[in-house]
Amino acid sequence: MKFNILINEGPYTHQASDTAFQFASAVFESGHEVVRVFFYHDGVHNATRLGAPPVDDRNVIARWVKLAEDYNIDMAVCVAASLRRGVLSDESASQSGRAIANLDQHFKVAGFGHFIEGAIIADRTVVFGD
């Protein structure tokens, strides 16, 4: 079975990102596939490379990066949501005159149509967060 995942919450705001990560891990462990993980609204904060949680806390962002590396997952952040929240790729930082980009290299910026495409390809779409 193929899954498309939408995450609407930041990594430390609510349980949504943790639960989505656990779900995606279970999908792979069960021999199924994640077509795409799309980060929307505050979920784009899952893609910043500047997060530095205390060593005794879970590193949600590092978990997503490891999962992407292990399974070659297509992980995308909504372009409009990321710009509004200051999660910037090299290109968007340059275009907006910002000195630094903070989007982790394992994520790409995409329009909402990219999420819709994932929903068409997948057998199921699962949404985490409001």
Q: Which residues are annotated as catalytic?
A: 78
Q: Which of 63, 46, 58 is nearest to 102 (CA)?
A: 46
Rounded CA-CA distance 53/57 in Å is 6
- Cβ contacts of residue 130 below 8 Å, gap of 6+? 8, 9
Is the Cα dihedral 87, 88, 93, 95 positive or negative?
negative
70 three-class SS: helix
Rounded CA-CA distance 116/7 in Å is 14
Q: How many residues are recorded in the chain?
A: 130
